[in-house]
Amino acid sequence: MLLRAIERAGVTATELKEVLTSVGVIPSRRLGQNFLVDQNTAEWIVNQLDPKPDDTVVEVGPGTGALTEHLLGKVGQIIVVEFDKRLAEYLTKRFSKHAEVEVVCYDAVRIDTRRFFAHKRVKLLGNLPYSAGGAILRNFLKGPSPFVKAVLMLQKEMIDRILAGPKSKDYGVLTLRMQCEWQGERVKVVPPSCFYPQPQIDSTVMTLEPRQAELPVHDRRFFDELVRRGFAQRRKQLRKNLPDGTNWEEACEKLDLRPTARAEELSLDDWVALTRWADPYFGKEEGQGAGEMLAVVDENDQVVGSERRDVIHRDHLLHRAVHIFVLNKHGEIFLQKRSRLKDKCPGLWDSSAAGHVDAGEEYDACAVRELEEELGLADHDMREVGKLGAHASTGWEYVRLYATLLNGKIRFPCVEIEYGQWFSVEQIDQWVEAVSEDFAPGFLACWGLWKEANPGRFGEF
């Protein structure tokens, strides 16, 4: 009877206590379990997500489903991630008649978020536990992230840190990590009276949307390293925390920084500028050279001359290219997200490395060169997986696909590659099937070739 009442009207404070008692849950302060019981607030929070019929919503920390119920009938799929086994079992029963709801019993700090790339328009929703909010944010929102929007409720002091500005006590590593990837806005303060048990502090709801092209291209990994170093001893002058060999005086002159500045005095823009200036691998921000000379071939893939890259693409001349899949010891494949500076397929996911065969160059030599130029990997044995003919889906390129096993550390230039990430072959296959528009056409052709070449041992090297 209680479950039926909850399905009809949502959970009141009294009913919530009964539910928790029935499933044997005593709210834990250590786990940060404070359950939302104000239905008007719950509905308002869900509406901030702007739910659409083709959305997939991942909800973290659903508790007894106070937010979940307001998503029913509004989105295509709801994936709730609940750590407490007893609550996960309750949610499974409560929403058993709703095929769009999937309950995942797992620790949100450790769940593999790569699975969510295989969904269109995936959004994140959550009343995050106070005890693990920072770790959950790190797992779900570090780049690259599959989410197009997030609406999250945490303790007020945590959101104050995320949205802080320079020269404040709240401004630090968490601030810059989040603001580098996301644009956030504080939208509502929720008082303790809206929860059971009542916390001793206010909560805050914030919305997050991916940062687009507001920041200049920079190496996010190096940015993170500099920020961590800078705030390791935040009261020290920044120059004392930077990597050895950094010419701080020159940086101050070029970037208009104070020589005695501390980490908390630099804005997000300042940190990005410092990252670009100090990055030894940073190249000129110009994308691809239109004037590079490439080999031109005939319908039999025989070289008949050479031409400028821009002319070849403009006139659809037949030419050559290589793609390389780099695998690790777990059988995962490294994919790159192409830089927004690319003239073709900017921002799409692509093979580990790929490039055109230059005039006077052969396929094998090109594969070796591209692997080192794009990923910093040298002295790798490569095997040829197969060949693709020149047609529209390959950009009128004859393509040879190679594979190699990782031996060393990947380092890629940010002007070429925005992100890099390892994915299992199953994850890639599901992603390609569900959201093929996320990928460069050349990769899709190579992925089909890879599957054909590896029957029975799909994805192995």
pLDDT confidence band for 299 (50 / 70 / 90): very high
200 and 250 in a common domain: no
Q: Which residue has the tokens 């009128």?
A: 396
Summarize the confidence of residues 383-387 as an average pLDDT. 97
Of 93-97, 282-286, 342-346, 362-366, the range with the lowest mean pLDDT is: 282-286
Asked if the structure places residue 346 within a domain, the reply is yes
Same-domain status, 124 and 253: no
| Residue 404 and residue 256 in one domain | no
239 falls within a domain? yes
Which CATH number goes with the domain that contains 194? 3.40.50.150
DSSP string, 111-126: S-GGGGGGSSSEEEEE
Average of per-residue pLDDT values in the chain: 92
User: What domain range is 247 assigned to?
Assistant: 220-278
What span, in angstroms and rounded, lies between the C-alpha atoms of 432 and 55?
18
Close Cβ partners of 30 (under 8 Å, ≥ 6 residues apart): 131
pLDDT score, position 284: 65
Model confidence at 454, pLDDT cuts 50, 70, 90, reads confident
Tell me: the pLDDT tens digits for 332-381?
Answer: 999 999 999 988 899 999 999 999 999 999 999 999 999 999 999 999 99
- Has residue 458 been placed in a domain? no
User: Do 44 and 135 fall into the same domain?
Assistant: yes
- Quote the percentage of the chain above a pLDDT of 90: 83
Look at residue 458 and tell me whether its pLDDT is greater than 50.
no
Residues 173, 235 within the same domain: no
pLDDT tops 60 at residue 457? no
Q: Is residue 182 part of a domain?
A: yes
Count CA atoms closer than 13 A to 412's CA, side-chain side.
Answer: 24
Same domain for 179 and 226, yes or no, is no
Q: How many CA atoms lie within 13 A of 435 on its CB side?
A: 19
Q: Which of 154, 183, 210 is the last residue of a domain?
A: 210
* Whether residue 290 has pLDDT greater than 70: no
Contacts 24+ apart (CB under 8 A), 373-378: 374/336, 374/412, 374/413, 374/416, 374/417, 375/326, 375/334, 375/410, 375/411, 375/412, 375/420, 376/408, 376/409, 376/410, 376/411, 376/412, 377/326, 377/404, 377/406, 377/407, 377/408, 377/410, 378/408
Percent of the chain with pLDDT over 70: 95
Provide the 8-state DSSP code for 364: H
φ, ψ dihedrals at 16, nearest 5°: -60, -45
Confidence of residue 459 (pLDDT cuts 50, 70, 90): very low
Asked whether the beta carbons of 33 and 63 are under 8 A apart, the reply is: yes
Q: What is the average pLDDT across 442-456? A: 90
Split at pLDDT 50, 70, 90, the class of 455 is low
Residue 172 lies in a domain: yes
Does residue 159 carry a pLDDT above 60? yes
Q: Which tens digit of pLDDT belongs to each residue from 260-281?
A: 999 999 999 999 999 999 998 8
- Give the C-alpha distances (Å, rounded to integers) separating 300 from 57, 75, 389, 390, 397: 49, 50, 9, 10, 12
Residue 250 belongs to a domain with what CATH number?
A: 1.10.8.100
DSSP 8-class letter at 291: T
Confidence of residue 460 (pLDDT cuts 50, 70, 90): low
Residue 95, pLDDT > 80, answer yes
Please tell me the pTM assigned to this model. Answer: 0.92
Q: Given 190, 210, 230, which residue is the final one in a domain?
A: 210
Confidence of residue 245 (pLDDT cuts 50, 70, 90): confident
Specify whether 70 is located in the same domain as 113: yes
Residue among 104, 155, 149 at smallest CA distance from 124:
149
Same domain, residue pair 241 and 259: yes
Same domain, 313 and 176: no
How many domains does one find in the chain? 3
- Residue 215 in any domain: the answer is no
Token readout for 351 is 């093979």
Determine, yes or no, domain membership for 425: yes
* Res 10 pLDDT > 70: no
Q: What is the mean pLDDT of residues 19-36?
A: 85
Domain stop point among 252, 278, 304: 278
pLDDT exceeds 50 at position 6: no
Q: How many residues does the chain have?
A: 461
With respect to residue 288, please indicate whether it lies within any of the assigned structural domains. no
Residue 9 scores a pLDDT above 50? no
Same domain, 27 and 117: yes
Same domain as 144, residue 264: no
